[in-house]
Amino acid sequence: MSSPEILEEFQLEADEMLNESEEILLALEKGEDFHKNFNSIFRVFHSLKGAAGMFQIDELQAFMHDIETQFESLRDVGSITKNQIDYFLRAVDSARQILDGKTIKFDTSLFSENVEIKASPKEIEKQIQTVIKRGEEKAAKKKGYVIVVDDEEYICEDLCQILNNFGYTTKGFTNPVEAVAAIIKKEPDLICTDLKMPGMTGMELLKEIRKAKVDSPLIFITGFIDNKLLTEGLESGASGFLEKPFEEHQVVSLSMQSVERYQTKKLLNRSINYMLYQFSDLDAYLKESGKETLRRNLKQELESILTLKREFN
């Protein structure tokens, strides 16, 4: 269960969870209710500890065990001080560094000693800007982020406008090489690309982004669809075709289906990953309790789910 692909998914999910806990801690610093937010932060710390154990990231597991225990001690206190918020913000950043394979210098004894940890003005500004940026990205992705590629500028603009009118965030490119770089940098929920373009065809663009492990759905735009082209495109992994001149309802319908399926797949992957994270704690308990049959059956069920996931993807 610890294949490179699953480990990579864990690292991406772990980074998202750390971002979430960081945002909540900054909200607490602004005066939000501690009781209402306690469980959200504790869940992140607990899940990361369990997942790190399953993936044998010993340094992260030991670190998150200490941080989780310290944060849990605040439950009975019912409040958190500014110094403690700063402490856990530093802890979140350190956990992120461990995930990146870096060596950290973090003194966990500072929590019990209640030593004041001051962030520099530059660090505070960086934290604020990071949270603002993530908020903007979440808002932009509310319905879906679509990249449109067509060497004819008016088609690119028209398609972007149609999708904008239905709540999608779009970015248009007339240069397919620049589009590939943007797609790899920030994976969209959908790509709409012309098939015939100077410099790079739509089919070549699809191959390039798949080489870069980008699995966003892709719709081809073409002036004429024949059976050979349709078969080749679908076999290459295209989600569909838009024939010029396209109608607004065709654009919206095909785009909506592609984006919703892609987002559902991502949600499924996140749910499975969360099951894996939680299984590590349960597996340790079953092992200690001598319940090998149940432990083996659960592992087999998880293997079956992972197989289905690979087939779905």
Domains of the chain: 4-137 (1.20.120.160), 141-313 (3.40.50.2300)
pLDDT value at residue 10: 72
Six token digits for residue 16:
């998202």
pLDDT averaged per 10 residues, the chain (length 313) = 60 81 88 90 87 82 92 89 89 90 85 57 59 54 84 94 91 96 93 92 92 91 76 79 86 90 76 65 76 78 70 59
**CA 98 – CA 55 distance, rounded (Å):** 13
In the sheet with 145-149, reading across from the earlier edge strand, the strands are: 169-173, 145-149, 190-194, 218-222, 240-243
Q: Is the pTM of this model over 0.75?
A: no
Six token digits for residue 76:
């009975």
Tell me which amino acid residue 80 is.
I
Six token digits for residue 299:
């592992």
Six token digits for residue 235:
């076999």
pLDDT value at residue 9: 67
Residue 242 CB neighbours (<10 A): 19
Nearest Cα neighbor of 200 from 190, 213, 209 is: 209
Residue 63 DSSP SS3: helix
| Distances in whole angstroms, Cα of residue 172 to Cα of each of 35, 80, 163, 191, 280 | 45, 46, 11, 10, 44
Six token digits for residue 132:
């603002």
